[in-house]
């Protein structure tokens, strides 16, 4: 450690510049992690925060945007409800609609048609839950759009009025759109395209998008249930991929993060490669007076560890500060400890790998070089 600390102090400008680069990479890692988590929350928080264990789609429904493509019936719900490992099975309808409030302000909503009093309907943090047709419980995030209790939200084209009777306790969004929980019958009329004053076909009141499932003791046997009901069921986590744009957004962010980690390892490796080349004479002198290769390698890796640990810690702290400011701007941004800690560990680990590969050339340093034999 003596040599490592002396060099850190002596060449503080060089190491400071390198540390600044690593710190900036750590800041970017925190911001990308927050953006990735924020996109997930903004895209599927309505599913993440629901008590649903699994959902059953109609058979043959394509994975992407399956919630808006699937159509199940009450008979399929009854088949699931009859299973001994299913405690609750309810029809759930999903539809993204355009609407406007009393002032004519345009609103985008995802209507979740739920059975009144069912387990899918969340509690109201303000106001109450819908008790009759034409009432809606909105995500609390809809208040940012200026919607208040007692307002009437009208579904465009159909002219169906929905009175806002409550807001959820937390954010509930789907496909980056605020969710409005309405009675299943209201959703079925919207799904069937029934305008105000018109009468829906009786068959319209028998359908929904999916069957929401809750098991007796965890997730029920989905394969056996599908065979009995003729559906395609997935766990609620697996169903995240079926929300609009979820897979594409997540894969994009993961690809960017992967390149960031690779760049970090290459930058650190390149720096220590140059640093090792520049101090070849000093290392040769140490070898000549008896320092072992293991000692020199350990000293070099510890030097990199000190630089990386300090820089990553500083960058994460700065990133958390910036992230805290971004959380109040309306951007889909969420700071979560787990992904940030994992990202910091990857930066540190990959940086050490790059530094170790670079300093490994120490083993080839010839002590005779210290005597000027190379001249």
Q: What is the pLDDT of residue 112?
A: 96
Residue with tokens 């040769």: 284
Report the Cα–Cα distance between both ends of the chain, in Å, rounded. 31
Tokens for 244, please give them.
Answer: 């609009």
**C-alpha dihedral, 341 to 343 to 347 to 348, nearest 10°:** 20
Q: How far apart are CA 129 and CA 117, in angstroms?
A: 9
Asked if 296 and 286 touch (Cβ cutoff 8 Å), the reply is yes
Write the pLDDT tens digit of every residue in 318-367. 999 998 888 867 778 888 889 999 999 988 888 888 878 877 766 666 66
Q: How far apart are CA 34 and CA 43, in angstroms?
A: 14
Asked if 210 and 56 touch (Cβ cutoff 8 Å), the reply is yes
Q: What is the pLDDT of residue 371?
A: 55
Q: What is the pLDDT of residue 249?
A: 85
Residue (of 34, 55, 83, 76) closest to 316 by Cα position: 34
3-state secondary structure of 160: strand
Inter-axis angle of helices 222-229 and 74-81, nearest 10: 140
Local confidence pLDDT in tens for the 375 residues of the chain:
556 566 667 767 877 888 899 899 999 999 999 998 888 888 899 999 999 999 999 998 888 778 888 999 999 999 999 999 999 999 999 999 999 988 888 999 999 999 999 999 999 999 999 988 899 999 999 998 889 999 999 999 888 999 999 999 999 999 889 999 999 999 999 998 887 767 778 888 899 999 999 999 889 999 999 999 999 999 999 999 888 888 888 888 889 988 988 888 888 888 877 777 777 777 777 777 777 778 777 877 887 888 889 999 999 999 999 988 888 677 788 888 899 999 999 888 888 888 788 777 666 666 665 556 544
> How many CB atoms sit inside 10 A of residue 27's CB?
20
Q: What is the pLDDT of residue 302?
A: 83
**CA of residue 187 relative to chain centroid, distance:** 28
Q: How far apart are CA 154 and CA 201, in angstroms?
A: 22
Q: What is the pLDDT of residue 365?
A: 64
Q: What is the pLDDT of residue 311?
A: 92
Q: Whole-model pTM?
A: 0.81
Q: What is the pLDDT of residue 119?
A: 94
> How many CB atoms sit inside 10 A of residue 17's CB?
10
């Amino acid at each position: 450690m003596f040599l490592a600390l002396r060099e850190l102090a002596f060449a503080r400008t060089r190491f400071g510049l390198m540390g600044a680069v690593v710190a900036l990479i750590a800041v970017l890692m925190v911001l990308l992690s927050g953006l990735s988590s924020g996109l997930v929350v903004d895209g599927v928080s309505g599913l993440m925060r629901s008590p649903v264990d699994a959902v059953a789609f109609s058979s043959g429904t394509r994975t992407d945007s399956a919630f808006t493509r699937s159509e199940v019936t009450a008979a399929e719900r009854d088949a699931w409800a009859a299973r001994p490992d299913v405690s609750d099975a309810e029809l759930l309808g999903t539809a993204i609609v355009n609407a406007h409030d009393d002032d004519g302000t345009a609103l985008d909503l995802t209507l979740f048609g739920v059975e009144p009093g069912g387990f899918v309907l969340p509690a109201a943090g303000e106001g109450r839950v819908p008790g009759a047709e034409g009432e809606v419980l909105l995500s609390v995030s809809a208040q940012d759009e200026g919607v208040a209790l007692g307002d009437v939200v009208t579904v465009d084209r159909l002219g169906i009025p929905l009175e806002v009777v409550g807001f959820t306790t937390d954010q509930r969004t789907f496909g980056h759109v605020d969710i409005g929980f309405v009675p299943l019958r209201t959703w079925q009329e919207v799904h069937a395209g029934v305008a105000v004053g018109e009468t829906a076909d009786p068959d319209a009141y028998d359908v929904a998008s999916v069957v929401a499932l809750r098991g007796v003791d965890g997730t029920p046997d989905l394969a056996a249930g599908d065979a009995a009901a003729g559906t395609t069921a997935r766990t609620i986590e697996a169903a995240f991929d079926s929300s609009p744009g979820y897979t594409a957004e997540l894969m994009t962010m993961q690809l960017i993060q992967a390149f960031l980690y690779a760049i970090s390892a290459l930058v650190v490796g390149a720096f220590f490669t140059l640093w090792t080349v520049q101090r070849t004479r000093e290392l040769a002198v140490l070898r000549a007076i008896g320092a072992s290769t293991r000692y020199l390698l350990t000293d070099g890796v510890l030097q990199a560890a000190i630089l990386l640990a300090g820089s990553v810690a500083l960058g994460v702290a700065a990133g958390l500060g910036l992230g805290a400011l971004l959380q109040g701007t309306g951007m889909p941004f969420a700071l979560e400890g787990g992904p940030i800690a994992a990202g910091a560990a990857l930066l540190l680990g990959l940086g050490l790998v790059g530094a170790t590969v670079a300093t490994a050339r120490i083993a080839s340093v010839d002590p005779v070089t210290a005597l000027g034999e190379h001249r």
